[in-house]
Chain A
Amino acid sequence: MTRRRLPEWFVLLLPAIVVIAAVVLIPLVFSLYSSFTPYKLTRPATLWKWVGTYNYEKILSDGKFWAAFGRTVLFLTIVLNLELLLGLGIALMMNKVTWGQRSLRTILMFPMMFSPILVGFQFKFIFNDNIGLVNNVLQSMGYNAALPWLVDGKLAMFSIIFAEVWMSTPVFAILILAGLFAMPRDPLEAAKVDGCTPIQTFRHITLPFLMPFIYIAMTIRSLDVARAYDIVQIMTGGGPARRTELLWTLMSRTGYVDSRMGLANAMGYVSIILSILFTIYFFRKLSAARAQIGMAG
């Protein structure tokens, strides 16, 4: 009796394949499939009804989705730029510190050590209009109106951005600081001799060298921010009245509150495009910047 045996490499890879299939492939295929159905969590039978691109058409013509989409892009742009500027500033200052730099570096990373949920709660308290820290401080300084930090649309957006920036600026600071440490000293000296003021040195020598590091931070953070959920969910829940609705709060509301999972999954696939575009953009920039400073191999 001859038994056909599986090839050895396949057998050896099988556990990995099974695990990957279970945690990545199956959910991926399942969610993609369900985005073509009117799947509702409360009525499992709807999973078997094929509606084609109905969900996608619905999303693309849905003002609420586009509002959330636009708000996410805006959020992303503001947060990334703020974090870049602050991170750059902090890194440059840290680089000048000669004493106690190690401890400072550790302290700098504290915000990253908190769970985003906790950061959300913390800022929810800080910005609370009745008992919040900010309003208390304002009042003790003689400003006598309670600002509705988390209720007014613009202020709420500001508060969320503030929390996000507070939590994640260190990512930029640390990566840029690493760049500064790796930076060769001689070109800086040559620039001094060539007549550069400190600002010109920064502009013409330091910054080009830091660009790859900045783009790496940008890539990482753009993926992070594009799926911002926890802080927003805790602080405003996307509300009030959807004024701070971002893609992910909208998606989770659609999927879990309205239990329209098929529709939520379709939203997920549309918004993935956003992430992919950002990633491609920053990777392009990254390799261009690397080529610029002669790092590309």
Chain B
Amino acid sequence: MPDPKAALAGHPFFSGIDPSIGETLAECAHEVSFPAGRFLAREGEPASGFLLLECGTVALELHRPGRMPIVLETLHEGELVGTSWVIPPYRWSCDVRALDPIRAIAVDARCLRGKSEFDPKLGYELLKRFLPLFVQRLEAVRLQLLDVYGETPT
């Protein structure tokens, strides 16, 4: 198994991380892999952590009764999957399905939240990395909602 500390530091989401913080994070991390087609999470299930994708693509899907599920977004190599672990009640807000064979670093949320309580430096570092991600995703959702290609630009 590759060393989670090196894998974490090498992932774009944690690029340039202070080595001591990287070490603490690695204590909550392990490598995982999933075959294509596997659901990595289901809407409503406890969000026990997040994944840093190293290889492969996942789809965030919303199921609809009697209709095909809709793909909200795809996430690719170098991206982070899962933000529901940050905010109570810590439950996945959509399904996550592997489109390809996936290799990722899984980070355990309970472990991370526990460490952040006692290590404000770690908590602040996480805040600085997750907050821009939330803003980027919010902006992307706004743009999707506008349906800029569909309707008149008036």
Q: Do A and B bind each other?
A: no
